[in-house]
A and B are shown apart, each in its own frame.
Chain A
Amino acid sequence: MSDIIIDNMPVNPKQSKFRHIFKTVKKERQLWILCIPLVAWVATFAYYPMYGIIIAFIKYVPGKPFLDCQWVGLKYFQQFFESPDLFLILRNTLAISGLDLLFGFPAPILLAILINELAFKRFKKFAQTVSYMPHFVSWVVVSSIMFTTLGTDGVFNEVLQLLGIVHEPVAFLSKGEYFWGLITISNIWKGIGWGSIIYLSAIAGIDEELYQAGAVDGLGRFGMIWHILLPGIKTTIVLLFILQIGGILNAGFEQQLLIGNSQTREYYDVIDTYAYRYGIQLGRYSYGAAIGLMKSAIGLSLVLITNKIAKKVSDLSII
């Protein structure tokens, strides 16, 4: 092993690395002390409970110690992949998440750009505040709003009939084919304003001089957006895109249960609603845990893959 010289003393590379870390920590000790609560929080609430993952591999009975429960290995994972509903719930999960990614992901970016372009400051602030409000409306209320609006006695049907577009009310909420569209629209409605906050702050961070330089070069409003604003927030967009890809198997839960019904089950049933019905409600916690673990593993893999692709394509990554 070849030694290196530090402070005129020969040390091996392992020792050197350790010393380097120690020196850095010592130098940045105030920052590290500030971090202690957060590290403790993550260790206690995010890592310590992870030992519970074991219930995905045993036949868990609440109240029984883990070691007394029967070890079943990958039985519950196998059961999930052999479930007759597997294709249906995977299709629905990917379709709803895919639509969210396709329309729901760019929507806040578009809104942030539009708000940024508003010249009248008071209206800008008003529009911003109003756009956040749906985020605070619970799904229970959203489902009631949807029933009042889109039910057969709803306002939308009344308008369609008044305009002579339809003669009989359209059962929007009981047609499975409409469900993906409705859930995507409601997801966008609820999340667009809230999601735009991070982009607005990223836009605010762009150097004003770049716009001035752009104006000198003859860029119009669209040119400024295309050549200055969008490249300025590219890092944020890539970061959030990678994270959203990681959550592609989280297609929702409450909204499905509240807006969905027996007629639309074949379109609304996603992994989480399935895991709740067949795991929690049937008292099969191990099965629910196996599905959850599988989801997390796939999510993590997707984050890593997307991160690698993003790094290769645009030299931007989160890790």
Chain B
Amino acid sequence: MKRLGIMLLSLVLLLTTVAGCGSEGKDSEVSTATGSQSKSSAAGKVNEYGWEVPEKTLEISYYVGQDNPDTVAKNSKLISDLLLEKFNVKLNKIVYDTDMIEKLNLMLASNDYPDVISNMKVDEALKWVDLGKAQELTPLIDEYGPEIKKQMGDYLKRYEDDDGKIFNLPVGWGLLPIADAAAQVRLDWYKEIGSPEFKTPDEYYEVLKKLVEKHPVNAAGEKVYALGAWKDDVYPTMIPEQLGGIWGLKRGYKEDADHNLTHWVNTDEGLELTKWYNRFAREGLLDPDTFTQKRDDWGAKCSNERYAGHFATWWVTKDFGNMTWLKTKKDYNDDMRYPHYDIKAPIAEKSYLNPKSTMGWGRTIITDKCKNPKDVMKWWNFEVSDMGTKLLSWGIPNTETSVWNLTESGEWSWNQNMTKTLEDSTFDQAKFDLNGGVSYWMVMGQQLHEDGTQAWIDQNFPSKWFKLKDENLKDTVFDFSAFFAISLPADEPVTVENQQVRDIVTTGFANAVMSKTESECVAKFMEMREKASKAGLKEVEDFYSQQYKKNLVKWNME
């Protein structure tokens, strides 16, 4: 009996161990873009959105990268229902809470991936093309993508390979000529000191210093700083890259007449901007946690009114500043915000604060798993159309919280109740998100459409503060696509050298800025320059210069 018991126990252990080793069932297989069996009553008709409803449901599975699956499911529920009901289209958006590159490599290694992959980095997309995992799009665009050709115009050529073939299309393409980064000051405090004009970095420094003198502590008695930032993967290098615009650098590089690029570490301008930022640190005006705190820590301090100014993108001071105060402060007034100003160093010919890319932030491919690529292309063709952009960017129409309405005959109009909240800065983003706007972008552009509308809803109704920002900074916006299109080749020496330089510069800049004296700051800057040179900075500069010039020639932008 005892022996039998032991035998049984062993068997159970063995079975439970190998229980997970079975082959994957059909349920876990990634579905392909096919027409399923469910038929639509509206099949063959063109609906009010201008989409010819297919007889069988068009189902597309596509992976978009890292995101919270619950949030994605919540925000895409309403639009997903509408697409199935009115379009007979089912979009299965796949996101995972893990790093996209790691996930893509796992997909490749396991040969298990969906019909479409979107939001890929350029080099990643090219890797899939090289491996023969991406389908050629050129004939599909020719046959099923007239809207894509029309909307993208000359931009389309930028995605051709050396043989004139297109294997990937961008998401977020087109020029959005709005300013992102700028010098900002807390407006109500600025008015208190008489709004002195500032046009140079030194004048900006003086203004911020006066603001801190006037408001040394917040209501809770905590110290107020002129500026502050946070640590994350990109931010430490973003500070000098953004600040460099004031000194005439373009995204951290100095461009000469022959389009050669020199990294900011190798320029006098780079030294000047480091010294300028260090001055804040030396005089106790820079948050000492600038390089150690997380974004949320910075945000909490911003919400607690501990910064007199900010130098970076506008949305963080909006989210943590005025939009938070609007909800939390009883004495909130419209001047409690951070407007944006253009400043330029005297040695710079022009300020280049806002380099823009027309290339989009990601690439989209149709994989070799897709059985029906022409239907995917038809959908993309609708997506970039005027009506497709409205639906897929602004979300579902005809509800109380919709920003737009659409009649059965296809006439559209704005929902004034909602659009006025955009203009007076009381727009409820969370409610808007539930309507599914921006949920299903695969090849969407952000260009201006013929009817004067734009994919980003807030750009259609800019508030007076938005207008002021863009007016103040209009001369700082420039097309730098030829630079942004550069991708570092995988597993090549220059990629490693670039990472080494990046590590050295990230550490060196932080240490130089936090130096106790200016001479110490200069010494640390020079040490950083020397280390970066030894690590291959010259090779990195040469690579970027060559690629940049190549793109300029290819796109007739010289």
Contact = CB atoms under 8 A, between A and B. Distances in A.
A63 B109 contact: yes
A34 interface: yes
Interface in A275-319: 277-278, 280-287
A269 B506 CA distance: 13
A312 to B, nearest CB: 39
B506 A262 contact: yes
Given A84-B534, A282-B495, A64 B131 contact: yes
A112 interface: no
Nearest to B127: A61
Interface residues of A, number: 41
B108 A63 contact: yes
Nearest to A284: B491
A171 B292 contact: yes
Interface stretch (A120-128, A147-155, A236-244): A147-155
Given A84-B500, A173-B292, A282-B499, A62 B491 contact: no
A283 B293 contact: no
A261 B291 contact: yes
A36 B14 CA distance: 7
B491 A283 contact: yes
A169 interface: yes
Contacts of B231: 261-262
A190 interface: no
Contacts, number: 118
Which of B111, B491, B495, B509 counts the most A-chain CB atoms under 10 A from its CB? B491
Interface stretch (B1-9, B249-257, B437-445, B448-456): B1-9
Interface string B508-520: 0111001000000
A263 B510 contact: yes
B35 to A, nearest CB: 28
Given A63-B131, A262-B506, A34 B292 contact: no
Contacts of B149: none
Given A63-B133, A278-B496, A284-B490, A37 B14 contact: yes
B18 interface: yes
Contact of A171 (B18, B288, B500): B288
B535 interface: yes
A74 interface: no
Contacts of B127: 61, 283
Contacts of A174: 288-289, 291-292, 510, 514
State the majority secondary structure of interface residues on B.
helix
Nearest to A35: B10
Interface string A37-65: 11011001000000000000001011110
B496 A282 contact: yes
B327 to A, nearest CB: 24
A169 B21 CA distance: 56
A30 interface: yes
Nearest to A258: B294
A90 to B, nearest CB: 16
Interface string B207-238: 00000000000000010000000010000100
A40 B17 contact: yes
A265 interface: yes
A286 B124 CA distance: 17
B13 interface: yes
A153 B535 CA distance: 36
Contact of B289 (A30, A44, A152, A262): A152
B480 to A, nearest CB: 24
Contacts of A266: 507
A306 B270 CA distance: 51
Given A263-B510, A263-B514, A278-B496, A169 B288 contact: yes
B6 A44 contact: no
Contact of B507 (A36, A147, A265): A265
A44 B21 contact: yes
B491 A33 contact: no
Contact of B18 (A40, A59, A147, A261): A40
Nearest to A33: B10
A147 B293 contact: yes
A263 B10 contact: no
Interface of B: 3, 6-7, 9-10, 13-14, 16-18, 21, 101-102, 104-106, 108-109, 111, 123-124, 127, 131, 133, 222, 231, 236, 288-289, 291-294, 297, 490-491, 495-496, 499-500, 503, 506-507, 509-511, 514, 534-535
Given A34-B9, A85-B500, 10 more contacts: A44-B21, A61-B131, A62-B105, A63-B133, A261-B291, A262-B510, A277-B503, A278-B496, A282-B499, A285-B105
